[in-house]
Amino acid sequence: MRDVVIVGGGTAGWMTAAYLTAAFGNRVKITLVESADVGTIGVGEATFSDIRHFFEFLGLAERDWMPACNATYKLAVRFENWREPGHHFYHPFEQLKSVKGFPLTDWWLRYPTSKRFDTDCFVMASLIDANRNPRYLDNRLLEQEFVESDDLPNTIAEYQGAQFPYAYHFEAHLLAKYLTKYATDRGVRHVVDNVVDVGRDERGWLSHVDTAEHGRLAGDLFVDCTGFRGLLLNKALEEPFVSYQDTLPNDSAVALQVPMDMDKDPLRPCTTATAQDAGWIWTIPLISRIGTGYVYSGDYIDPEEAERTLREFVGPAAADVPANHIKMRIGRSRRSWVNNCVAIGLSSGFVEPLESTGIFFIHYAIEQLVKYYPAADWERSLREQYNSALMNVMDGVREFLVLHYRGAKRADNQYWRDTKIRTVPDSLAERLEQWESKVPDAGTVYPRYHGLPPYSYNCVLLGTGGIDVRPSPALDLIDEKDALAEFQAVRDKARHLVRTLPTQNEYFRRMREGV
Ligand code: FAD
């Protein structure tokens, strides 16, 4: 299994090439072929906090790659108007504390010390309201409880359960460029050409791809990173696609790249998802521009209306910026690994980017590929375990996303009213009932690894506000003193950090100046 051919040079292709090189060095020969004619998707700028393990695995420090990718910090997703106009809440990168065996959110339902569960239960919420940076100007990380690794490299698996306090925003095409250099410097062969045919042997396994100008590229293992096209897995091997559209109907997006001046405009340290009439708009602050886009369902509005809404939302800064209209394939390939072909990225599966899970899926898939890497006997069980892991991660995230819509209090038009009656995945229906009388915990969320801990479900359930959640009856019988002290500790810590941490603008200005 020494000869790997990766088809596609978007985020998925280059992340895979770079990671495999870091994992296997020159014991594996890697060729990446990408088309100059077929563009990349051109979006995908917000990440999960686990992404730091990717960079650490590659041996890259923030100062190496962040400036090259116009990257900023992300402490949370901020949801605006999902409950009602003017309301916002955060899903921060911060684990929830427990007092006497009950999560702080449960105590908050019984003793709501203010109207905001997020600022009462999480330190990060106040930091983001105040546009704070997670690091001090001398680069020290804010004092939060998390595990910072010192023995590199590491993977998501080793740190499951530990919550690092931030993720990143970056320009996807700059990251691909950065990783191109990383991978080719370490021996990856880079072919810029169109794959025009995919060859199969008598068993139906892939034997080679034919390119227009570079002839035949043969290999042992083929990685399909061709995006929504699924050129190898879905087209050549005819692996079916399992659509999630019945539960997640948003199937389109229109995106803009809006110039921004970080000397004037505040850099909010979070991704913002603002609910709209037929979906929601993302706002991602980068060093020199804002990435923004409207994710919507084509059943409710057309692309022209979506673009008009997005331009009105952004205002005059969007006037001369071209729009990128994207049709999205929502769901997953039935199996991501078939015979000797593994699909990674959009070809494997995709859900709308509400919780920035696209790059997380890629990162997780690459880690699993290394974990289950085959030998010459192509042991079937390795493929099956890989496929289960990928299926679980995507099906789990689907449940989590559906909760946002089912939970959203707003029901002011047909789109939002339909979110309350649309089918939900079977097991979620049962969980929703359980959560009405007990906030989500490890026993009642999607049981297999999907990157989202129970506290994430607590945030969305309490933040969206459409589902009536009751506190545990036992809390009436337990002394509340310690819980109230914990709320006070969260407030005190937040006040201290807001006072002492710099803004993102201050921090990145220093980084840009190389201080
Ligand atoms: P692509 O970027 O589409 O790349 C496909 C590659 O295949 C290209 O290099 C192309 O040249 C090549 N190719 C295709 N056909 C051929 C051929 N015949 N021969 C040779 N090469 C070929 N993820 C996040 O984590 N966070 C986000 O905020 C986020 N936002 C998103 C917003 C939207 C609207 C969408 C649609 C996605 C978003 N994603 C996000 C997902 C993220 O963009 C993708 O997961 C990521 O970019 C990976 O894309 P890819 O590399 O699989 O595919």
Q: What is the pLDDT of residue 159?
A: 65
Distance CA 347, CA 222 (A): 13
Distance CA 339, CA 471 (A): 50
Q: Is the pLDDT confidence value at 150 over 60?
A: no
C-alpha separations of 287 from 72, 170, 318, 354, 376 in Å? 7, 9, 17, 21, 46
How many angstroms is it from 223 CA to the middle of ligand 1? Answer: 14
Q: How confident is the model at residue 511 (pLDDT cuts 50, 70, 90)?
A: confident
262 lines ligand 1 (CB under 6 A): no
The verdict on whether omega for the bond into residue 92 sits within 30 degrees of 0, i.e. cis, is no
Distance CA 46, CA 500 (A): 26
Q: How crowded is residue 472: how many other Cβ atoms within 10 Å of its Cβ?
A: 18
What would the pLDDT profile of 73-106 be if each residue is shown by its tens digit?
Answer: 999 999 999 999 999 999 999 999 999 999 999 9
pTM above 0.95, yes or no: yes
| Structure-model confidence comparison of residues 46 and 157, the more confident one | 46
Q: Give me the mean pLDDT over the 475-502 stretch.
A: 96
C-alpha separations of 223 from 61, 206, 368, 485 in Å? 27, 11, 13, 53
**Ligand 1 atom 38 nearest Cα:** 44
47 lines ligand 1 (CB under 6 A): yes
Distance CA 462, CA 476 (A): 20
Q: Is the pLDDT confidence value at 151 over 80?
A: no
The total number of residues shown for the chain amounts to: 515
What would the pLDDT profile of 248-306 be if each residue is shown by its tens digit?
Answer: 999 999 999 999 888 888 999 999 999 999 999 999 999 989 999 999 999 999 999 99
How many angstroms is it from 345 CA to the middle of ligand 1? Answer: 7
Q: What is the pLDDT of residue 164?
A: 87
Cα three-residue angle 145-149-151, rounded to 5 degrees: 160
Q: Return the ligand 1 atom nearest residue 225 CA.
A: 52
- For residue 149, report the phi and psi dihedrals to the nearest 5 degrees: -80, 145
**Ligand 1 atom 12 nearest Cα:** 8
Q: What is the pLDDT of residue 242?
A: 97
Distance CA 293, CA 274 (A): 10
345 lines ligand 1 (CB under 6 A): yes
Distance CA 302, CA 349 (A): 24
Q: What is the pLDDT of residue 207?
A: 97
Distance CA 13, CA 24 (A): 16
Which of the following is catalytic: 74, 327, 481, 493?
A: 74
471 lines ligand 1 (CB under 6 A): no
Q: How many CA atoms lie within 13 A of 310 on its CB side?
A: 33
Distance CA 133, CA 382 (A): 42
pLDDT cut 70: percent of the chain above it: 96
165 lines ligand 1 (CB under 6 A): no
CB 343 within 8 A of CB 336: yes
Instruction: Enumerate the known binding-site residues for L-tryptophan.
Output: 346, 355
Q: Give me the mean pLDDT over the 450-468 stretch.
A: 97
Instruction: Enumerate the known binding-site residues for FAD.
Output: 9-12, 195, 359
What is the tally of helices (H) and strands (E) in the chain?
Answer: 15, 23
How many angstroms is it from 369 CA to the middle of ligand 1? Answer: 19
What is the chain's mean pLDDT, rounded? 95
74 an active-site residue?
yes
Q: What is the pLDDT of residue 163?
A: 80
How many angstroms is it from 47 CA to the middle of ligand 1? Answer: 14
369 lines ligand 1 (CB under 6 A): no
> Which H, E and C letters describe 395-449, residue by residue?
HHHHHHHHHHHHHECCCCCHHHHHHHHCCCCHHHHHHHHHHHHCCCCCCCCCCCC
Distance CA 328, CA 323 (A): 16
Q: Is the pLDDT confidence value at 144 over 80?
A: no
Q: Please report the ipTM that was assigned to this predicted complex.
A: 0.99
How many angstroms is it from 64 CA to the middle of ligand 1? Answer: 24
